[in-house]
């Protein structure tokens, strides 16, 4: 093939890519501080359409529903631009890459936030979707579920599952995510021990959480979608004495919960299942047009801080 033919082939490839450019609707972007040397990325996000420009609009109009630190940074940079007559030189929103699917963009976003930059160096509040399967920034130790993939068959050998449940456990990385949850909880200075993944009932994959001198335990169930976890309170065993102690503890602890919590969600009876007789549930309860905040779908794995706070709170109430 001569040089002119190679040139024509490259032109054709470029043309085809341009024709398909509209398929790359989703993008990952960075908000960059151009006043620093070198430039400093302070926020990573994903979006479509004009999402890249929405942050400045929010900052300009004082829209700050989440008290987000990125907006203060934007305002500071825009004031610096005005002071130095340097329009669009300090606040630099830039697209990093474009992708054909939201799932691709979410994966890149989480990898940049958690592994490449590290969330502590950014103003992001959460790590991003599916971050449980991403190594943390500067974390070079072996990680169960990432460096050492689990033999799923060893967890599913009892046969108490359907073909669909087995597929969900494998496709949604349930065991690996439970391993990551175990490590995260144990590193959160809660003073608890966490079991290995328990899939005796594959519809209820979970971790058992205990602490010294506890007369109850917590069951952290991961939904088979792999996206949310539900926290339950359970007796230490099915023996009559443990059940009696558990029920007494539950009543006593419930009496010490703040009124707003008792209004928002109840510790309700659930016969059977992995939780024992009772489980901790968070449900929306409406009062006319008003809704009390809760976690009707469980705790999202995209942001584990509410789950850690809940484990700490329930442990304190049940100790």
- Per-residue pLDDT tens digits for 75-111: 999 999 999 998 899 999 999 999 999 989 999 999 9
Please report the beta strands in the chain, taking only residues with DSSP state E, as ranges in sequence order: 26-33, 40-47, 91-99, 193-194, 206-210, 216-222, 228-235, 267-269, 278-280, 286-287, 290-291, 299-300
Residue 238's region, left for phi above 0, alpha for psi from -120 to 50, else beta, is alpha
Find out whether the peptide bond into 38 is cis, omega within 30 degrees of 0. Answer: yes
Helix (H, G, I), strand (E, B) or coil at 80: helix
pLDDT at 42: 96
pLDDT greater than 60 at residue 13? no
The percentage of the chain sitting over the pLDDT mark of 70, rounded to a whole number, equals: 76
Tell me the pLDDT band of 186, cut-offs 50, 70 and 90. confident
pLDDT at 177: 87
Give the Cα separation of 217 and 235 in Å (integer). Answer: 6
- Max avg pLDDT among 115-119, 129-133, 238-242: 115-119
- 14 vs 29, higher pLDDT: 29
Tell me the pLDDT band of 285, cut-offs 50, 70 and 90. very low
pLDDT tens sequence across 201-213: 878 889 999 999 8
pLDDT greater than 90 at residue 246? no
pLDDT tens sequence across 144-178: 667 766 666 666 655 556 778 878 888 888 888 88
Tell me the pLDDT band of 33, cut-offs 50, 70 and 90. very high
pLDDT at 297: 62
pLDDT at 113: 94
CA dist list (Å): 244 to 251, 252, 269: 11, 13, 14
Report pTM: 0.62
Average pLDDT, the chain: 80
Give the Cα separation of 242 and 291 in Å (integer). Answer: 36
CA dist list (Å): 305 to 89, 121, 217, 227, 261: 35, 17, 20, 15, 18
pLDDT at 10: 43
Tell me the pLDDT band of 249, cut-offs 50, 70 and 90. confident
- Max avg pLDDT among 104-113, 271-280, 290-299, 303-312: 104-113
pLDDT tens sequence across 44-61: 999 999 999 999 988 888
Tell me the pLDDT band of 3, cut-offs 50, 70 and 90. very low
Give the Cα separation of 195 and 207 in Å (integer). Answer: 6
pLDDT at 170: 81
Give the Cα separation of 214 and 274 in Å (integer). Answer: 18
Tell me the pLDDT band of 66, cut-offs 50, 70 and 90. low
Give the Cα separation of 102 and 47 in Å (integer). Answer: 8
Domain ranges of the chain: 22-133, 152-317
- Token output for 310: 């809940």
- 9 vs 20, higher pLDDT: 20
């Amino acid at each position: 093939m001569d040089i002119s033919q190679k040139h024509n082939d490259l032109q054709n490839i470029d043309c085809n890519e341009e024709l398909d450019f509209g398929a790359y609707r989703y993008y990952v972007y960075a908000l960059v501080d151009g006043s620093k040397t070198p430039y400093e990325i302070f926020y990573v996000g994903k979006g479509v359409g004009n999402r890249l420009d929405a942050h400045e609009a929010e900052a300009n109009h004082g829209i700050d529903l989440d008290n987000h630190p990125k907006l203060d940074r934007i305002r500071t940079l825009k004031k610096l631009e005005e002071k130095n007559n340097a329009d669009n030189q300090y606040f630099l929103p830039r697209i990093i890459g474009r992708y054909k699917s939201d799932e691709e963009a979410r994966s890149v976003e989480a990898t940049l936030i958690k592994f490449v930059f590290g969330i502590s160096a950014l103003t992001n509040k959460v790590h991003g979707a599916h971050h449980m399967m991403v190594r943390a920034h500067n974390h070079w130790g072996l990680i169960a579920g990432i460096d050492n993939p689990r033999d799923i068959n060893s967890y599913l050998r009892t046969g108490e599952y359907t073909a669909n449940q087995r597929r969900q456990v494998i496709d949604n990385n349930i065991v690996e995510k439970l391993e990551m949850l175990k490590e995260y909880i144990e590193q959160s200075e809660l003073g608890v021990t966490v079991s290995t993944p328990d899939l005796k009932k594959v519809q209820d994959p979970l971790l058992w959480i205990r602490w010294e001198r506890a007369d109850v335990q917590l069951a952290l169930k991961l939904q088979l979608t792999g996206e949310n976890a539900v926290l339950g309170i359970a007796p230490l065993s099915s023996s009559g004495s443990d059940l009696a102690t558990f029920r007494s503890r539950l009543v006593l602890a419930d009496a010490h919960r703040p009124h707003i919590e008792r209004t928002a969600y109840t510790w309700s009876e659930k016969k059977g299942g992995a939780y024992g007789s009772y489980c901790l549930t968070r449900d929306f309860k409406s009062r006319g047009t008003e809704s009390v905040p809760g976690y009707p779908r469980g705790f999202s794995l995209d942001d584990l801080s509410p789950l850690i706070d809940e484990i700490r709170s329930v442990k304190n109430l049940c100790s």
